[in-house]
Amino acid sequence: MPAYLPDHGLTSQELLAKALMESYASAVQETILLYTLEINHSSFSEPARVVRWSAAAPTPEQFLCKLEENAPYNPGQVVPFIGLPFEVRFPDKSEENAGEFQFQVNGVGFELDADLEKAALSGGKITAILRIYIKGEELEGPAEVWPGITLQAPSINAATGDLTVSGSLFDWLSRTFGFLYTPGKYPALSNG
Q: Which residue has the higher pLDDT, 22 or 77?
A: 77
Output 161 or 24, whichever has higher pLDDT.
Answer: 161
76-135 residue pLDDT tens: 999 999 888 777 777 666 666 556 777 777 766 555 666 766 776 677 788 889 899 998
| 64, 67, 100, 129 from 78: Cα distances, Å | 6, 6, 29, 16
Q: Quick one: how far is CA 9 from the chain centroid?
A: 32
The percentage of residues in the chain with a pLDDT greater than 90, rounded to a whole number, is 17
CA triplet 123, 81, 146: central angle to 5 degrees? 65
Q: Is the pTM of this model over 0.85?
A: no
CA dist 39 and 124 (Å) reads 13
Q: Is the pLDDT of residue 74 over 90?
A: yes
Cα 92 to its chain centre, rounded Å, is: 15
Q: What local confidence, expressed as pLDDT, does residue 171 receive?
A: 46
Contact 99, 173 (CB under 8 A): yes
- Residue 72 pLDDT exceeds 70: yes
